[in-house]
Amino acid sequence: MMAIYTLWGYYARWTARWPMLAAFIPFIPLIAIWAFIVWLELFPRVFLPGPLDVIGKAWELTYKGILGDYLIDSLSRLAVGAAAGIAIAIPLGIFIGLNKRAHEFSWPILLFFQAIGDIAWLPILLVWFGFGLTTMTFVIVYTVLFPIVLNTVLGIRSAKPDLHRAAQSLGAPRGRILLEVTLPGALPNIITGLRNGLGYGWRALIAAEIIVGTSGIGFLMFDARRAGSVDEIVVGMIVLGILWYIVDSWLLAPIERATGERWGLVTK
């Protein structure tokens, strides 16, 4: 019992000093279980490679330059698609959120098209645009769009009436109220939209790469399947998880801490 407390004390102290550790340590038991199952040799190695096999494979792929190239391909596709999606989604969400008529008119359409999830578009897109960048970009933009629009609308429409009134009574014209009151109030919702949108977009990209790709992490995994290289597939899966962790904790979480959490709009 004492030993556990002591260990916990060390854990708390070290993770406070190096937050990166706090992200890594929970995976140690997971990896240990994985290694243990492999060690039992219940399945042939080619079916279930161990952690060391995967690390070796990751090193090999990195060394050959494949992993780096594919990573850049995937990330740049996501960046282009997400940037376009965000550039359309936020202004559209603001417009629909502010305009009652536009809201009534567009809401059913938004819900309808949201239901036709990303990859459900692939069959028809392949007919229209073929196996290429256009198809992939379309899928990402489409996937990123809806969560951001819907959350932005929600944020704009849930603005506090008293804050709006206070700004009016202090002499703020409409445009300034939008800029100084409505938008900051909607920011936590917009960030939630970004988080969901980018998350779905990332998944849609991998799916699109599996089907239409000639490069990228999704393609790497699917290509490895053809070669029967399970360790390569696992490398791809791990890369996906790590990348999302980085996007979330290095990009989105800091924005959240500097805005909504600081202002007391969302609980920490």
DSSP letter, residue 50: -
Q: How far is the CB of 175 from other proteins (least distance, A)?
A: 11
Rounded least distance, CB 251 to other proteins, Å:
20
Sign (positive or negative) of CA dihedral 134, 139, 141, 142: positive
Q: What are the E-state strand segments in 89-243?
A: none
Q: C-alpha distances in angstroms, 144 versus 18, 82, 115, 123, 192?
A: 33, 6, 13, 19, 12
CB of 13 to other proteins, least distance (A): 28
Q: At what angle do helices 217-227 and 66-98 cross, to 10 degrees?
A: 130
The pattern of x and - marking residues 201 through 240 that bind other proteins according to CB under 8 A reads ----------------------------------------
Cα distance between residue 249 and residue 265, in whole Å: 19
DSSP per-residue string spanning 129-168? H-SSHHHHHHHHHHHHHHHHHHHHHHHHHT--HHHHHHHH
Distance CA 218, CA 119 (A): 14
Residue of 212, 209, 208, 228 whose CA lies nearest to 220: 209
**C-beta of 21 vs 265, nearer to other proteins:** 265
What's the min distance (Å) between Cβ of 182 and other proteins?
Answer: 11
Does residue 255 belong to the site contacting other proteins (CB under 8 A)?
Answer: no
> Residue 64 or residue 174: which is nearer to other proteins going by CB?
174
**Nearer to other proteins (CB atom), residue 101 or residue 268:** 268
Q: Which is nearer to other proteins, 65 or 175 (CB)?
A: 175
Interface characters, 150-189, with other proteins (x: CB under 8 A): ----------x-xx-xxxxxxxxx--x---xx--xx-x--
Total chain residues near other proteins (CB under 8 A) = 23
Rg (CA), the chain: 23
Closer Cβ to other proteins, 81 or 185, answer by number? 185
Q: Which residues bind other proteins (CB under 8 A)?
A: 160, 162-163, 165-173, 176, 180-181, 184-185, 187, 259, 262-265
